[in-house]
Structure 1
Amino acid sequence: MEPAGFDVDELIEFWTLLDEDRELLVGKRGATALGFALLLKHYSRYGRFPRGRSEIPDEVVAFVARQLGVAAVDLGFYEWAGSTIEYHRAQVRDHLGYRLATVADQETLTGWLSEAVAHAERRPDRVREELLVEFRRLRIEPPTAGRLLRMVRSALRTAERDWASRIEGRLGPAATARLLTLIATNEDEAGEDDSDEAGSLLSLIKARPGNVSLESMMTEIGKLQAVRALGLPAGLFADVAPRILDDWRARAAVEAPSHLRRHPQPLTVTLLAALVHQREREITDTLVELLIATVHRIGARAERRVTNELINAFKKVTGKENILFSIAEAALSAPDDAVREVVFPAVTGGEQTLRELVHEFKTKGPVYRRIVQTTLRSSYTGHYRRGLIARCWRCWSSAATTPPTGP
């Protein structure tokens, strides 16, 4: 039984010696047979030879050794350099139909990599994986790890250079000139500061939004107007993968103007255009969030203000029915006498109770609604456009005038 945690199914699928594999083992014994078998199955599994004993797990060595009837420790006697292993490698390549990669193969695959993979993927590890898959598909043994890395870097540079030329062509001279003004400087290069100048347009575009306030909203509106004034063509990045666009935007956001100026012009304007394009969307989203937050804040303030002003309006005058009956009875019994002499003495509390009764009626009737509406209207004035205020007001008025339901 294999050690716990190791994939037994993978062992059986990829490391089982087939009949055709055993034909190649005829005449080989002990460590030679075990080493050759491991070379063969590793190449079948990964499309390349192991770099040494340390690259083959002990579980795999034990599994293959049991099939050959030899001890796993015999692998220590196998020579990983010299004529014997080179002969074994040649046998494996011939058996599996592989060949060594030539310089022409590497150049061809580097060009394929830049067009088919690197134009939409900027992560070197993922690009390398796709390159190895293509080597296996063509049954070509890949070169050394260092050479693979150089192929990947070359493909990424070529793809970026092609994209930059294409984007610059779409921008045109006028838009290109406007973008370059973002990093223009009149200072001597020797005394130049690598950071953005305070108050510059590029700094404004990069800046994060402030706290929820009217000032923050106006600042974001200014950013949006500045971004749109640069006049990027519609569909500039329509065929660019989002991952590539995000990578350009991130680079432009962290690089200082002096660094951006060191790039070739096509790459410089591409990075700046990506930053401006993405920031336009981000600033628009920020404005929507600020607007919603401000509306909620104004609504909460208006509610608190109304509550504080009318808190006393909910004081109830008790015994209203008896008071009204007493007033009516006193008025009918002495209709020609003065009010203060007849009506007020008939009510407990006198004139003050009658005033409270009148106040309760006013605050529970249409006067209360008018005060709330006036307060909300004054809170919104000066902050929002007339259309938004009218829409909010219609919604509130409809809710306020809907008659209550239920018992």
Structure 2
Amino acid sequence: MDDAVRFCLLAEQVKVEVALFSSYAWSGRTIEYHRAQIRKFHDFREPTVGDEDKLADWPATKICPVEMSRDRLRGALLTRCREDRIEPPKTTRIERVLGAAETLFERNFTHRTLNRLSFDAVGKLEELITAPPPPPAATSDDSASAQAAAEPEGQSQAAAAHEGGRRAFLQELNEDPGSFQLDTLLAEIVKLGRVEAIGLPATLFAEVSEKVVAGWRARAMKMYPSDFKAAEVPVRVTLLAALCHVRQAEITDAWSSC
């Protein structure tokens, strides 16, 4: 909503000419005095630094677990200000509060997810984007020099194939299988077995909505292995877990509907 529309609506409410708004001093002592009068009349108060901290904590624990839209977070924050009879912070401060809330939620969410996963499950998730260790160095035994010269090449090929298999599976998790025919259904069953073998707990994302988990899955689908590696461990593991969790649910739902 632009300023012209706001002025028209406000003019209609207070029964004054719209043209008067263009001559009003929107900064300085006059507006500060009028705002103080309005706050007193409606029994509101100015926000403090402590209020902003509380306003960031509230959406981080109550709204962010079920909603990812910044516009809806902003609307919920403004509603909270009205309920607490606090004058909403300025636009720039509101955006900072919302940013702090999202950061706090992400930190709590990713650490909780990591703590709920077993060491083995974390390792299997990491394997999706981590290259296998290099093959051992060749032996210096003269009697086996020919064999030693051949081993690194063969081991390198095996390691490359192993890494390719891991990353191919990561790519498969990102792909839409299309219409479920017999061949694709059998492939999805195999994929389901591999996802289930990771060992994600059924209650891994119990405190957040499916919309939020789907949002993290969508974020993961846009990332390359190098992007995952650059992320902090809790964030990386949560992204990979969300990707596998949603894909597992999709395959299970498709299988049950056949």
1:168-247 correspondence to structure 2 within 5 Å = 168-185=114-131, 200-209=168-177, 213-247=181-215
Q: Which amino acid aligns with 2:235?
A: L
Residue in structure 2 matching 1:161, options 103, 107, 113: 107
Q: Which amino acid aligns with 1:110?
A: A
Q: Which residue of 2 aligns with 1:126?
A: 72
Deviations, residues 149-175 of structure 1 (Å, cap 9, x unaligned): 111111011111111111111112111
Choose 1 or 2 for highest CA Rg: 1
Q: For the structure 1 residues 76 and 211, does the alpha-carbon distance in structure 2 shift closer, same or farther, using more than 3 Å as the test? A: closer
Query: Does the 8 A contact of 1:101 with 1:141 survive in 2?
Result: yes
Partners of 1:182 and 1:234 lie apart in 2 by: 20
Deviations, residues 375-400 of structure 1 (Å, cap 9, x unaligned): xxxxxxxxxxxxxxxxxxxxxxxxxx
Q: Which residue of 1 aligns with 2:233?
A: 265
1:271-350 correspondence to structure 2 within 5 Å = 271-287=239-255, 292=258
Q: For the structure 1 residues 75 and 174, does the alpha-carbon distance in structure 2 shift closer, same or farther, using more than 3 Å as the test? A: closer
Q: Which amino acid aligns with 2:211?
A: R
Q: For the structure 1 residues 56 and 202, does the alpha-carbon distance in structure 2 shift closer, same or farther, using more than 3 Å as the test? A: closer
| Structure 2: unaligned runs, 5 residues or longer | 135-162
Partners of 1:63 and 1:287 lie apart in 2 by: 58
Partners of 2:179 and 2:239 lie apart in 1 by: 29
Q: State the TM-score, normalizing by the size of structure 1.
A: 0.51
The higher-RCO structure (CA 8 Å, 6+ apart) is 2
Q: For the structure 1 residues 288 and 93, does the alpha-carbon distance in structure 2 shift closer, same or farther, using more than 3 Å as the test? A: closer
Instruction: Give 1:214 deviation, angstroms.
Output: 4.1
Give 3-state SS (helix, strand or coil) of 1:99's partner: coil
Deviations, residues 56-79 of structure 1 (Å, cap 9, x unaligned): 34365256346xxxx554444433
Q: For the structure 1 residues 221 and 65, does the alpha-carbon distance in structure 2 shift closer, same or farther, using more than 3 Å as the test? A: closer
Q: For the structure 1 residues 100 and 283, does the alpha-carbon distance in structure 2 shift closer, same or farther, using more than 3 Å as the test? A: same
Give 3-state SS (helix, strand or coil) of 2:117's partner: helix
Partners of 1:230 and 1:53 lie apart in 2 by: 54
Partners of 2:6 and 2:175 lie apart in 1 by: 52
Calculate the aligned-residue CA RMSD, in Å: 2.7
Instruction: Give 1:103 deviation, angstroms.
Output: 1.1
State how many pairs are aligned.
228
Q: For the structure 1 residues 64 and 132, does the alpha-carbon distance in structure 2 shift closer, same or farther, using more than 3 Å as the test? A: closer
Q: For the structure 1 residues 230 and 105, does the alpha-carbon distance in structure 2 shift closer, same or farther, using more than 3 Å as the test? A: same
1:55-204 correspondence to structure 2 within 5 Å = 56-58=6-8, 60-61=10-11, 64-65=14-15, 73-185=19-131, 200-204=168-172
Query: Does the 8 A contact of 1:117 with 1:127 survive in 2?
Result: yes
